[in-house]
Chains A and B, each alone.
Chain A
Amino acid sequence: MTRRFGTLEEEKVFKDPVHRYIHVRDELIWELIGTKEFQRLRRIRQLGTTFLTFHGAEHTRFNHSLGVYEIMRRMVENMEERENWDPEERLVCLSAALLHDIGHGPFSHSFEKVFHTDHEEWTREIILGDTEIKNVLLVMGEDFPKKVADVIAKTYENKLVVSLISSQIDADRMDYLLRDAFYTGVSYGQFDMERILRVMRPKEDQAVFKHSGMHAVEDYIMSRYQMYWQVYFHPVTRSAEVILSKILHRAKHLYSNKYKFKDKPKHFYSLFSGKITLEDYLKLDESVILYYFQEWQNEDDPILKDLCERFMSRRLFKYVECDPSIQMKVWPELIELFIKIGLDPNYYLVIDSSSDLPYDFYRPGEEEERLPIHLLMPNGDLRELSRESDVVEAISGKKRTDHKLYFAKDILEDQSTFPKEKQRILSLLIAQEG
């Protein structure tokens, strides 16, 4: 009979600033952490370019993945004796929690936008493809890798298991909110996770929360709301993301036009051509990307050179608030002026919208496709959270969207060339704010 992983002779622990300790007692989990694909996550920051705004935000997908695993471990422990919980799912849950972000690439949000890749598809490829991770998972049974991949893809038949890793209140969100708050140094990301875990109850399709724990859940919702606007959607971070995206667009454009790079960007070739293999994808991490950004500062192409210098030296674009419905008529003139002064508006005049962001805040369902958070009432009924909580109702009813127009203010303020046109551009941009 084939050997399956069991329990480690001695429990292993990782020191962690958010959860104090991360406990590993399963051989399977220990082996997964040791794979080269999982170790790669050490070289991918959790918050992409946010470190340019909050200098502490240098934490990686590695820390976060361990954190999600630890929360899941505690969730499963709390549910072990409860109705609706199948103890057979324990290792599937822990593996899925640990591996849920395994497909993320470097600065993956911008990467995915530019190259139209999807980290969730890569996650599946890594779990089911020719990798060390798959070989480790296979020890648990032939169908085990597929089970783990299905949980992460939200297509696993046990919806309760899926909801623990991916729902409006799940192990992933709880870890990243606490962790991102800790590393950015902001004070508003805190909530009582222990309390939330204690009041969590498994139901057929999702975990629900005892009504007595509603205030802890309210705090979590507030944290999510605050982090969204104060950290994830910070305008300076968005400026860095805009420049990063434009660098990638420019490099791709140059490659398509047979530009001769001084240092051949071989790591990007398959991305540029849209035929990336798993092997190539796994070679990409932030150290590789930053190496090219460093080198491209010496390129002959003035746009690539300038954008890379901006990114590396944190000379970011400035922004004005904008309302496209009011200012749309000014844009043709702006674009024409940019072309006249020799600034390509495709790279130097960019609108960034709230829908460009991969984070969201809590909204209860209204013909929505996402299950809302349910409270378990003393009489056994389920009630949607915002119907019971005034605090949640107050913020979840507010819909906020936002658009910012980013531009290279320093170039426009240099009036040694095209002073009249630049003055006009600046006045039009300032007028955008109303």
Chain B
Amino acid sequence: MLQEHCKLLAVLKQTGEVVGRKKLQKLIYIAKKLEFPFFEKYQFHIYGPYSEELNLRMEEMCHLTFVEEVKEKKAGYYQYRYTLSQKGSEFLNLSNYELPNTKELLNDINDQSSKFLELVSTVLYFEDLTRNEVEEKVFTLKAKQNYTKEDVSEAYRYIEKLRSALITQ
């Protein structure tokens, strides 16, 4: 029961902490695009792929005290830190749910900046398009982020690296 919730608890267990709602959103999206079994529905929003379902699921787990959410004031905005609580850990143990072998990969993604993950997830969102079309999408839809061609190349390299790591696992 509540298996989709358990998956998110397992992500927090494996990563230790996720800083920022945007990062969490992109982390799950990228994992989903890498064929990990996440089923939250995503749509394209201001900062790229975004799942209201994931947002609400996290809210539920905060209310259930399975997840600890710490709100921090930053320059001009608020940031949220997420960790697995004792109760969440207990629930995860009771459910017997185990994510596939994702720890290394999730931690690698979690170590990247939110801005870079926004670009990576945007490239993944448009991955059926040609490279030129993807660049056009990035530069028009994400004009305010000022990504460069080199940033886009870095995103492609990173996606390739993640996929290669999966194959060799």
Contacts and interface: CB of A to CB of B under 8 A. Distances in A.
B2 A370 contact: no
Interface stretch (B10-18, B44-52, B99-107, B151-159): B44-52
A176 to B, nearest CB: 16
A366 B78 contact: yes
Contacts of B57: 353, 355
Nearest to A116: B39
Given A153-B44, A157-B140, A367 B77 contact: yes
Nearest to A158: B140
Contacts of A389: none
A360 B41 CA distance: 14
A354 B44 CA distance: 22
Interface stretch (A21-29, A215-223, A260-268, A326-334): A326-334
B82 interface: no
A163 to B, nearest CB: 11
Nearest to B64: A325
Name the residue among A116, A118, A331, A369 with the largest chain B CB count within 10 angstroms: A369
A328 B91 contact: yes
Contacts of B2: 324, 351, 353
B141 interface: yes
A403 interface: yes
Given A328-B94, A368-B21, A401 B63 contact: yes
Interface string A386-418: 000000000000010101000000000000000
Contacts of A329: 94
Nearest to B55: A368
Contacts of B41: 112, 118
Nearest to B57: A355
Nearest to A360: B52
Nearest to B51: A369
Nearest to B52: A360
Interface string A345-358: 00001110111000
A294 interface: no
Given A112-B41, A324-B2, A401-B60, A355 B53 contact: yes
A401 B59 contact: yes
A353 to B, nearest CB: 6
B37 to A, nearest CB: 10
Contacts of B47: 369
A389 B93 CA distance: 45
Interface residues on A, range: 20 to 34
A154 interface: yes
A120, A325, A329, A354: residue with the most chain B Cβ atoms closer than 10 Å: A325
A155 B56 contact: no
A286 B13 CA distance: 42
A157 B142 CA distance: 10
Interface in A348-387: 349-351, 353-355, 360, 366-371
Contact of A360 (B46, B56, B65): B56
Interface in B58-86: 59-60, 63-66, 77-80
A329 B91 CA distance: 9
A155 B137 contact: yes
Interface in B77-130: 77-80, 87, 90-91, 94, 126
B167 interface: no
A89 interface: no
Interface in B20-47: 20-22, 25, 39, 41, 43-47
Interface in A131-181: 153-155, 157
A401 B90 CA distance: 21
Nearest to A153: B44
Q: Which of B25, B44, B90, B126 has the most CB of A within 10 A?
A: B44
A323 B141 CA distance: 41
B60 A331 contact: no
A155 B59 CA distance: 27
Contacts of B64: 323-325
A401 B56 contact: yes
Contacts of B91: 324-325, 328
Given A116-B39, A120-B43, A355 B60 contact: yes
Nearest to B118: A369
Contacts of A360: 52, 56
Contacts of B77: 367
Interface in A296-321: none
Contacts of A368: 21, 55
Contacts of B55: 368
Contacts of A350: 1
Contacts of A349: 1
Contacts of B44: 153-155
Q: Which of A112, A350, A368, A399 has the most CB of B within 10 A?
A: A368
B87 A325 contact: yes
Interface of A: 112-113, 116, 118, 120, 153-155, 157, 323-325, 328-329, 331-332, 349-351, 353-355, 360, 366-371, 399, 401, 403
27 contacts: A112-B41, A116-B39, A153-B44, A155-B44, A155-B126, A155-B137, A155-B141, A157-B140, A324-B64, A328-B94, A332-B94, A353-B2, A354-B56, A355-B60, A366-B78, A367-B21, A367-B22, A367-B78, A367-B79, A368-B21, A368-B55, A369-B46, A369-B50, A370-B45, A371-B46, A401-B56, A401-B60
Given A116-B39, A328-B90, 4 more contacts: A325-B66, A349-B1, A368-B55, A369-B45
